Structure 1
Amino acid sequence: MLAIIPARGGSKGLPGKNIKLLKGKPLIAYTIEAALNADMVTRVIVSTDDLGIATVAREYGAEVPFMRPVELASDSAKAVDVFKYTLKRLEEEGGGQIDSFVVLQPTSPLRTSDDIDQAISMFVDKNADSVVSYCPEQHPIVWHRYIADNGKLIDIFEPNKIRNRQDEKMTYYPNGAIYVIRKELINKDAYYTENSYAYIMDNNRSIDIDTLMDFKFAEFLITNKS
């Protein structure tokens, strides 16, 4: 299966994060290596607008067959449009018909090759429209509230009394590490249908780096992985 690693150069939360050295290795390299070592992945493409990212990506074995247009690398650009553009270009340039693909964000360095293979296998075995990686929410979702400008609490769900954590049903949230998707779903600007499934990942492998604190925590987790 084709793997697409989207990595634009204009990060605001942590400038240059995609090639920032994490324990001596560019952040994006962790995702490239995991994809290349996954048995179910046949091709690894990096979509970027940044020449520095493209150079690093090629050094670690990924393909960068073309650069991403500027209009698809802005803060307002939609990821779904990046995927549409990438698939169209690949097909036009001799890549053959692409029916499904896996998206691996470079900000998830602790996702493993085994995670990728298991998610793709689930997608195939269940004949799914999509498989998305999720991890357990640490606090019951019914504890969440909106906060008004004046600081007042506003219910998100129906008003309820807060119960003990163990009395609430476990909830999960997408960790951003893996998206296995049918192209026809992307063409509808969607990631989910009633035939979508969750691949559950442990929280320790679910870090999604957006800030310097996230980056430092990832360093801590890699250092203490054993």
Structure 2
Amino acid sequence: MVPAIIIAKGHSNRLPHKNILPFCGLPLVEWSIIQASSAHLIDKVFLSTDSEHIAEIGRKYNAEIIWRKSKVGEEVSGGYVVTYALRELQKKYDFDVFCSLLPTSPCREPNDIDRAVKAFNENKRNITRLSALYCPKEMTVYEKVTWRTDGNYYFPVIWNKNYRYLNGNSNVYISYVNNYLNLLSKPEGDNAIDLRWEVYGIPENGIAGYIEIEWYQQFDIDDKDDFEFCEILMERYILKGRGPEIYKQYARSK
């Protein structure tokens, strides 16, 4: 089984209740649920939340709800929440690979999740995780140098055109369960999940896999400006007036 885990809390600080705000006609979190449910290579969708409203959205698509406990605090890293969800799922299901999706990165093409799972399966002997990368548009960056006490100096550094640069984002993430859990361990005698980075579960050669996505898929929604910008990109480059039907059509192509 390859499960998709979507984590979506009921509140947020910079943009209140962003996961349920209307985004291209649907609550923001609903897009990730639709995308995961439409993927050919995802066997089951799980939704981790502390909100009954969000849970109801997930149930529309037969997503299984994983309720957050209070000790998986409201302001902790998403890694804590995913780890808790994985441990809950291990009590009921047998699986060694999972897919993690953040609802705040909704700009996914219909086949992105399947491309990621397929690429992971084809290279699973050499990698332990896979993520989405995008190629930034060419630019000049400025490197800051502090020279003694005389002040700060900047000078331009032009990217080497003989190389292709890729940056990461949170569009889709695939990992072996055990390797991911090695990143976040539980201290003895404590039920809380403790973030630890001493053990980074990658093979000796340090290789992580990736799929490449388009530039307009790189953005993550944190505030109102991000929300409005991503809504424009989603409609212009992906939906193109078709709404969620593009994902349903992809699902029917199995």
User: Normalising TM by the smaller chain, what interval?
Assistant: 0.7 to 0.9
The answer to whether the Cα contact below 8 Å between 1:35 and 1:113 also exists between their aligned partners in 2 is: no
1:104 to 80, 101, 104: 101
Structure 1 vs Structure 2 CA RMSD: 2.6
Q: CA distance change for structure 1 residues 8 and 144 in 2, over 3 Å: closer, same or farther?
A: farther
Identity of aligned residues (%): 26
What does residue range 158-169 of structure 1 map to in structure 2 within 5 Å?
A: 162-165=156-159, 167=161, 169=163
The answer to whether the Cα contact below 8 Å between 1:29 and 1:60 also exists between their aligned partners in 2 is: no
Match of 1:88 in 2: 87
Deviation at 1:154, TM superposition (A): 7.2
Q: CA distance change for structure 1 residues 135 and 51 in 2, over 3 Å: closer, same or farther?
A: same
Q: What code does the residue aligned with 2:231 have?
A: E
Match of 1:11 in 2: 12
Moved over 6 A (4+): none
Q: Can you give the 5+ residue segments of structure 2 that lack an aligned partner in the other structure?
A: 184-199, 241-254
Greater displacement, 185-194 / 196-205: 185-194
Match of 2:25 in 1: 24
The alignment partner of 1:224 has SS state of helix
More strand as a share of residues: 2
Given the alignment of the two structures, is residue 178 of structure 1 paired with residue 178 of structure 2, yes or no? Answer: no
Q: What is the CA–CA distance in structure 1 between the aligned matches of 2:201 and 2:211, rounded to whole Å? A: 14
Match of 2:46 in 1: 45
Q: What is the CA–CA distance in structure 2 between the aligned matches of 1:111 and 1:145, rounded to whole Å? A: 35
Q: What is the CA–CA distance in structure 2 between the aligned matches of 1:167 and 1:10, rounded to whole Å? A: 43
Given the alignment of the two structures, is residue 222 of structure 1 paired with residue 234 of structure 2, yes or no? Answer: yes
Given the alignment of the two structures, is residue 207 of structure 1 paired with residue 219 of structure 2, yes or no? Answer: yes
Q: Can you give the 5+ residue segments of structure 1 that lack an aligned partner in the other structure?
A: 156-160
Deviation at 1:137, TM superposition (A): 2.8
The answer to whether the Cα contact below 8 Å between 1:135 and 1:173 also exists between their aligned partners in 2 is: yes
Q: CA distance change for structure 1 residues 51 and 116 in 2, over 3 Å: closer, same or farther?
A: same
Q: Deviations 1:174-202 (Å, cap 9, x if unpaired)?
A: 11111100111112114755131121110
Equivalences, count: 214
The alignment partner of 2:182 has SS state of coil
The alignment partner of 2:102 has SS state of coil
Q: What is the CA–CA distance in structure 2 between the aligned matches of 1:195 and 1:78, rounded to whole Å? A: 24
Q: What is the CA–CA distance in structure 2 between the aligned matches of 1:182 and 1:146, rounded to whole Å? A: 40
TM-score, L = length of structure 1:
0.83
Q: What is the CA–CA distance in structure 2 between the aligned matches of 1:145 and 1:154, rounded to whole Å? A: 6
Greater displacement, 137-146 / 80-89: 137-146
The answer to whether the Cα contact below 8 Å between 2:37 and 2:61 also exists between their aligned partners in 1 is: no
Q: What code does the residue aligned with 1:181 have?
A: S
Q: Deviations 1:36-87 (Å, cap 9, x if unpaired)?
A: 11111000001111222112222244221x3111222421x23333222212
Match of 1:71 in 2: 71
Greater displacement, 34-43 / 8-17: 8-17
Deviation at 1:214, TM superposition (A): 1.0
Q: What is the CA–CA distance in structure 1 between the aligned matches of 2:54 and 2:153, rounded to whole Å? A: 43
